[in-house]
Chain A
Amino acid sequence: MTRLAIIDYGSGNVRSVQRALEAAANAHEIRLDIVLTDDPDRIRQADRIVLPGVGHFADCAAGLANRQGVTEALNEAVFRSKRPFLGICVGMQLMADVGREDVETPGLGWIPGAVERLTPKDAKLPVPHMGWNVLTDLTSHPVLSGLGPDPHVYFVHSYALKPEHRDHIAARCDYGGKFVAAVARDNLFGTQFHPEKSQKAGQTLLANFLRWKP
């Protein structure tokens, strides 16, 4: 039985993430015990950790910081004990050193780099970038396996993570220029898109994450 903790810190639709993970687990006969939690002890006990996030970088960062011991527990479980971790949308952005949405806010500092506003070359392209788009430049990372040649996934965001190191980029996407759609480093994986809203491609990715042994 895999114990999976979804960090519930007042941001984002934890329910959608939970249901999508449960469906992916059922479809692949993975025994999964999910807890929604902001309790540092339960975070430390989890085998896998998912950090969702919707909205404003600074709000989400404050949501984590205001919960006593959560950042420390994440650092311990994820960064030191190397438990598989998945950050989704702002949950992925929080893996960076710093966010630059309106104000400069420190992130968890796991992926060197900054979160900056999308600037499509075609000024007619609206920001937020919202809808179905194609992943490009996919690496052979296990979490991205089986997605097929041009996987479509669902995005809703105005900012994107720019990693300092090229080898932390797992996939890109084109929206008036390329931006980073997924990051990976050791036991860490992050998606700018929403696998929990990406139908079959999303289900495949979530099942990959649940089986991933970094």
Chain B
Amino acid sequence: MLKVRVIPCLDVKDGRTVKGVNFVDLRDAGDPVALARAYDAQGADELCFLDITASHEKRATMIDVVERTADACFMPLTVGGGVRTPDDMVAMLKAGADKVAINTAAVLDPDIIRACARKVGSQAVVMAMDVRREGDGWVVYTHGGRNSSGKDAVAFARQIVDLGAGEILLTSMDRDGTKDGYDIPLLRAIRDVVSVPLIASGGAGNVQHMADAVLKGGADAVLAASIFHFGEATIADAKAALAAAGAPVRPTVDA
């Protein structure tokens, strides 16, 4: 049986991790490669790097981070941020990423998803959706959650999966940073219309929230940043909570 994945996420700017990271026994908490190694040792099922570097010119720095991580960690790696074209995806995959997340460019022009899937295969194309509740529904945002696209999240999810997205990384802007838990009704609404794997993101405040995202929200994977970075929970804690709730997990001792 396929296992629910626990995915720590690192925001990287100009080759350094941002959002403070407070890891015991880590000499340089700003080094994404060192953090990746630490999560690898903890038994994370996958790593996610989001490049929030403002300028496209500094993309070479991110490629270097991905290469050095892939050289040291023998586990699946998803990379996103600033990806606009199929060739951007190819560059990340060549550097050692296994999947590439696309956001703004695909919201503005969903056909990019089709071109990306043709070039690298659906399994490597992750649609990162940043959504916010508006009225009775949810709307997709672009540019790191700053601009509304006006697009309905449920209809958009259906559309991009039809175009070839292999996975959805669903971030609730309302919950992000609140630690109030993932947005379960949002997860449910997207889960009900797509069959591709769904990653819950935004709002994890404790490990029970992760179990809820899977059991109640129907997520296939849970992504979190600060709860792991500040040592409030380990990967093993997350898996123990998931297992106790009845979700299938890969034991951390296997890592």
Contact = CB atoms under 8 A, between A and B. Distances in A.
A13 B2 contact: no
Interface in A19-74: 19-20, 23, 54-56
Contact of A131 (B2, B40, B67, B251): B2
Contacts of A209: none
Given A126-B196, A128-B123, A131-B5, A199 B254 contact: yes
Interface residues of A, number: 35
Interface in A107-124: 124
Interface residues of B, dominant DSSP = loop
A132 B5 contact: yes
Contact of A148 (B71, B93, B254): B254
Interface in A125-159: 125-126, 128-134, 148, 151-152, 154, 156, 158
B96 A132 contact: no
Contacts of A134: 1
A164 interface: no
A197 B96 contact: no
Given A13-B93, A15-B70, A126-B197, A199 B123 contact: no
Contacts of B221: 131
Interface residues of A, dominant DSSP = mixed
A199 B1 contact: no
Interface in B163-187: 166-167
Interface stretch (A75-83, A183-191, A200-208): A200-208
B191 to A, nearest CB: 10
Point out which of A55, A156, A174, A201 has the most chain B C-beta atoms below 10 A from its C-beta: A156
Nearest to B45: A132
Contacts of A124: 195
A200 to B, nearest CB: 6
Nearest to B120: A55
B3 A130 contact: no
Interface in B231-251: 250-251
A126 B220 CA distance: 11
Contacts of A202: 74
A201 B254 contact: yes
A2 interface: no
Contacts of A56: 121
A19 B70 contact: yes
Contact of B250 (A23, A126, A132, A197): A132
B80 to A, nearest CB: 17
B91 interface: no
A198 interface: yes
B110 interface: no
Nearest to A131: B2
Interface string B187-215: 00000000111000000000000000000
B76 A13 contact: no
Given A55-B121, A129-B2, 12 more contacts: A13-B98, A16-B74, A19-B74, A125-B2, A126-B195, A131-B3, A148-B254, A175-B1, A175-B2, A197-B74, A199-B40, A201-B254
Interface of B: 1-3, 5, 40, 43, 45, 67, 70-71, 74-76, 93-94, 96, 98, 121-123, 166-167, 195-197, 220-221, 250-251, 254-255
Give the top 7 A-B pairs by smallest Cβ distance, nearest first. A152-B250, A132-B3, A128-B123, A132-B250, A126-B195, A199-B255, A20-B74
24 contacts: A15-B96, A16-B70, A19-B71, A20-B74, A56-B121, A124-B195, A126-B195, A126-B197, A128-B122, A130-B123, A131-B2, A131-B5, A131-B197, A131-B221, A133-B1, A148-B254, A152-B251, A156-B123, A196-B74, A197-B74, A197-B76, A198-B74, A199-B254, A203-B74
